[in-house]
Amino acid sequence: MKGERAGTPSLSHVGSDGTARMVDVGEKGVTRRTAVAEGRVVMSGEAFGLVRGHAVTKGDVLGVARVAGIQAAKRTAELIPLCHPLQLDHVDLELTLQEDLPGVRVTATVRVEGRTGVEMEALVAVSVACLTVYDMVKAVDRAMRIEGIRVLEKTGGRSGDWRATQP
């Protein structure tokens, strides 16, 4: 691999002189690439009941968070300095009420036909959706926690498919 030192893999966003750089993807082939990420907002039972009952005074928590996540995925390159701007083909957010947390599980699926992956777009979508849930419910529960944000799987590209092994 270009830039490796004695068997140690290099970071693709660090140049040989140690400075940050945007990766050149011009020689990569265009392939279908997908990424799925997840995160959770853990809240009090009272807050959960209000979200479940559509009784939060700011409005439809899950609907607004879904739209916020989609918008965020489309703006990832503006937020993460070394990300390539991508013309996304599909962004889907699933927000699921989970009584056992209690809270909301957010899953984002992002797809593109492109030269680079969409893991960052999926992670940004989940992060912003979780932050939106927090914002809309914080008047009831300021102790909510956003946790477990991670990539679950990615497909396509030179490195192939990958799936998280831990639940």
- pLDDT the model gives residue 1: 40
pLDDT for residue 117: 84
In the chain the domains, ranked by start, together with CATH numbers, are 31-156 (3.30.70.640)
Which residue ranges of the chain lie beneath pLDDT 50? 1-8
Pairwise CA distance, residues 63 & 100, whole Å: 21
Active-site residue among 89, 100, 135, 141?
A: 135
Residue 88 burial (CB count, 10 A):
18
- Beta strands 145-155; 103-114: pairing state: unpaired
CA angle 118, 108, 41 (to 5 degrees): 130
**Is 141 among the residues known to form the active site?**
no
pLDDT of residue 4: 43
> Would you state the pLDDT for residue 73?
98
Residue 127's pLDDT is what?
98
Query: pTM (2 decimals)?
Result: 0.86
